[in-house]
Amino acid sequence: MNTQLVESIYQVIQSLSDEERSLLEEKLYTNLSYPSQEEIIALAETSNVFDFLKDEPDTYTLDDGRPV
């Protein structure tokens, strides 16, 4: 990790005027692309975040309730 670079960038940001900081925030946080539904599903499938569900009993079946 380049700690010196991070510290230098932090110092530059601290020296900006409020107007300059607003412009920087606008540049950094606009036009961010959000993940697609497919990307979110792929992330959930490849991560271990839902592994705890493997140990849960199968409480519901396709025959339960009404079809949606």
Give the pLDDT confidence of 9-25 residue by residue, as tens digits: 999 999 999 999 999 99
- Domain membership of residue 49 (yes or no) is yes
Q: Write down the pTM of the prediction.
A: 0.42
pLDDT at 51 (0 to 100): 87
- Domain membership of residue 38 (yes or no) is yes
- Domain membership of residue 48 (yes or no) is yes
Structural domain range at position 50? 25-56
More confident residue, 26 or 60: 26
- Please list, in sequence order, all residues whose beta carbon lies within 8 angstroms of the beta carbon of residue 35, skipping any fewer than 6 positions away: 43
pLDDT at 67 (0 to 100): 67
pLDDT at 68 (0 to 100): 67
Structural domains in the chain (count): 1
16-22 contacts, C-beta under 8 A, 24 or more apart: none
pLDDT, one tens digit per residue, over 24-55 is: 998 888 877 888 899 999 998 899 888 888 88
- Domain membership of residue 34 (yes or no) is yes
